[in-house]
């Protein structure tokens, strides 16, 4: 019998900070975390696979999911919807497994309202200048879009206060190690461990 729910980890942070890269590097290593695949209305990029990278949906389909309450959170980001499926997250947590979300900041704030017990990790760039370089050097955006992304990024950094942990993304490997340490530390929290022991003794 599962007597304890899994932990919900949320990795978020400003646009262009490298959330996706850190998340992918983390999941390339062995981990007990379950990644929640998001829904989106944006077009698949080259090499992206439906049901692996995202569940790709039309706007109509996405709006239906919203109205049916099938998303824990959703946000509109650079003209597209992104959202976290409710059933997968709730079911996996109920099975006692940890779930990992990698989402932008508005969505993370909404998750906090519904899952205050979640562990919120804010990924920040070593400096805003570097963030600018990364967004510009990605080279896939127009100048206007770059400006919009930068403006959004500055606002997002102000949101750090809503998080439990801050990880500086100076190097991917460092950031991944820190995220893994956070996961390990959360499992060592006294409340969590004591609960398991007390429960085991009660069963005797």
The contact set with ligand 5GP (CB under 6 A) reads: 19, 38, 42, 73, 75, 77, 82-84, 102-104, 107
* 14 is an annotated ligand-binding site residue: yes
Of residues 154 and 189, the one with the C-beta less far from ligand 5GP: 154
Of residues 11 and 183, the one with the C-beta less far from ligand 5GP: 11
Give least dist CB 141 to ligand 5GP, A: 11
CB-based contact 128:154 (threshold 8 Å): yes
* 17 is an annotated ligand-binding site residue: yes
Q: Which residue is nearest to ligand 5GP (CB)?
A: 107
Token pair of 142, please?
């127009």
Of residues 38 and 169, the one with the C-beta less far from ligand 5GP: 38
* 119 is an annotated ligand-binding site residue: no
CB-based contact 43:163 (threshold 8 Å): no
Give least dist CB 116 to ligand 5GP, A: 17
* 51 is an annotated ligand-binding site residue: no
* Residues annotated in a binding site for ATP: 13-20
């Amino acid at each position: 019998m599962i007597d304890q729910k899994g932990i919900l980890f949320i990795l978020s942070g400003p646009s262009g900070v490298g959330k996706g890269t850190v998340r992918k590097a983390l999941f390339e290593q062995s981990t007990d975390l379950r990644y929640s695949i998001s829904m989106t209305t944006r077009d698949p990029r080259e090499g992206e696979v439906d049901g692996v990278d995202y569940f790709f949906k039309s706007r109509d389909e996405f709006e239906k999911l919203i109205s049916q309450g099938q998303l824990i959170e959703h946000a509109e980001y650079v003209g597209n919807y992104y959202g976290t499926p409710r059933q997968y997250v709730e079911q996996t947590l109920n099975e006692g497994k940890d779930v990992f979300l990698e989402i932008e900041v508005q969505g993370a704030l909404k998750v906090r309202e519904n899952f205050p017990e979640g562990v919120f990790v804010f990924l920040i760039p070593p400096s805003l200048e570097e963030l600018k370089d990364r967004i510009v050097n990605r080279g896939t955006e127009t100048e206007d879009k770059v400006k919009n992304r930068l403006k959004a990024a500055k606002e997002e950094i102000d949101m750090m206060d809503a998080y439990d942990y801050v990880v500086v993304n100076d190097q991917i490997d460092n950031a991944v190690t820190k995220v893994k340490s956070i996961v390990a530390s959360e499992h060592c929290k006294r409340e969590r461990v004591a609960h398991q022991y007390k429960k085991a003794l009660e069963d005797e």
